[in-house]
């Protein structure tokens, strides 16, 4: 890990922390919630040893990157703008993209807005979903899954942060609760005040084999410095994103894509997702979708849970281009 280099880059009006290693064609890794660049540690080491330059930023609001105060500063236009500026700063015209969770959502927008800079995209967990012109996303989630669906509970500024602050051991306990879950989707939170707490008399969930105490402590240290508000603002910008992306309604994503998901992933097990991925809907919206890989017994944080397999999947795809 000490061979990974760290620097700060000025992009799109903010300072962005970037972790990188290697020489060669650039692979841009985009993390999700509640991860940091650190989620890609195995991929950075693996791909850099195989002739690639692995670049993994902390997105705005996360880790050692700047965290603007306003919710509107976390729109998809801002986030994609950050990444376009980062690619330009690297001195190349195109990069490979690997993304997970919220990072995948961002990468789908990057591919929609600026397909010219994406050689190929390896998507982990979250498939592309076209914009519904008839209903805003939060309203849709509330209608389908109810008020306690996690995205709905994340909407009001300060509320979920207050619940997180009530948990013992602060950020570490919250992260442990999120990172260790293997419940099927949809993710419905317990009643207010209980979302991230262990049941009375029960110990916190044990760490899985792929997540060490040192790993958890590193990520938690960043959240203890800055809190969760920046990352949560991504969810609070979802309706704003819907408004801003109206011009892209009905647009297909036309970059080469490989999609990988675990069959125990909370996204994949949410009603309707399996049917969409495997029934032709996904391929219709992403016509250059070349491979779909369903990993048996693997949950949401698949790049950490099965790093060697994911590294092999990434390499076998991007070496075609």
Residues labelled as active-site residues: 101, 235, 300
Report d(CA 89, CA 57) in Å as an integer: 13
Burial class of residue 161 (count of CB atoms within 10 Å of its CB; 0-12, 13-18, 19+): middle
- Residues 6+ positions from 220 with CB-CB distance below 8 Å: 170, 171, 172, 175
- What phi-psi label fits residue 44: left (phi over 0), alpha (psi between -120 and 50 degrees) or beta? alpha
- Selection from 28, 44, 22 nearest residue 303 by Cα: 44
> Cβ distance 177 to 160 under 8 Å?
no
Q: How many CB atoms lie within 10 A of CB 30?
A: 27
The contacts of residue 195 (CB under 8 Å, 6+ apart) are 153, 160, 163, 164, 189
């Amino acid at each position: 890990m000490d061979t990974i280099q760290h620097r700060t880059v000025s992009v799109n009006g903010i300072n962005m922390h970037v972790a990188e290693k290697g020489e060669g064609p650039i692979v841009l890794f985009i993390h999700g919630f509640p991860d940091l660049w650190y989620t890609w540690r195995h991929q950075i080491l693996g791909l850099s040893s195989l002739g690639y330059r692995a670049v993994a930023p902390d997105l705005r609001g996360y880790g050692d990157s700047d965290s603007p105060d306003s919710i509107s500063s976390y729109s998809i236009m801002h986030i994609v703008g950050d990444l376009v500026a980062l690619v330009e700063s690297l001195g190349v015209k195109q990069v490979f993209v690997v993304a997970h969770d919220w990072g995948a959502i961002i990468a789908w927008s990057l591919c929609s807005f600026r397909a010219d800079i994406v050689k190929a995209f390896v998507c982990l967990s979250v498939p592309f979903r076209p914009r519904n012109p008839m209903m805003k996303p939060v309203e849709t989630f509330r209608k389908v899954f109810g008020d306690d669906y996690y995205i709905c509970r994340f909407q009001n500024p300060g509320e979920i942060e207050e619940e997180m602050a009530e948990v013992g051991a602060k950020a570490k306990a919250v992260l442990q609760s999120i990172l260790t879950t293997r419940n099927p989707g949809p993710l419905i939170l317990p009643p207010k005040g209980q979302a991230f707490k262990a049941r009375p008399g029960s110990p916190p969930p044990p760490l899985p084999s792929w997540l060490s105490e040192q790993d958890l402590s590193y990520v938690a240290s960043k959240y203890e410095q800055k809190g969760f508000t920046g990352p949560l603002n991504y969810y609070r910008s979802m309706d704003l994103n819907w408004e801003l992306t109206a011009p892209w309604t009905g647009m297909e994503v036309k970059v080469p894509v490989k999609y990988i998901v675990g069959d125990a992933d909370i996204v994949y097990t949410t009603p309707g997702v399996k049917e969409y991925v495997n029934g032709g809907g996904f391929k219709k919206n992403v016509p250059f979708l070349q491979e779909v890989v369903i990993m048996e017994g693997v949950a949401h944080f698949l790049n950490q849970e099965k790093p060697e397999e994911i590294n092999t999947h990434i390499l076998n795809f991007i070496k075609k281009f």
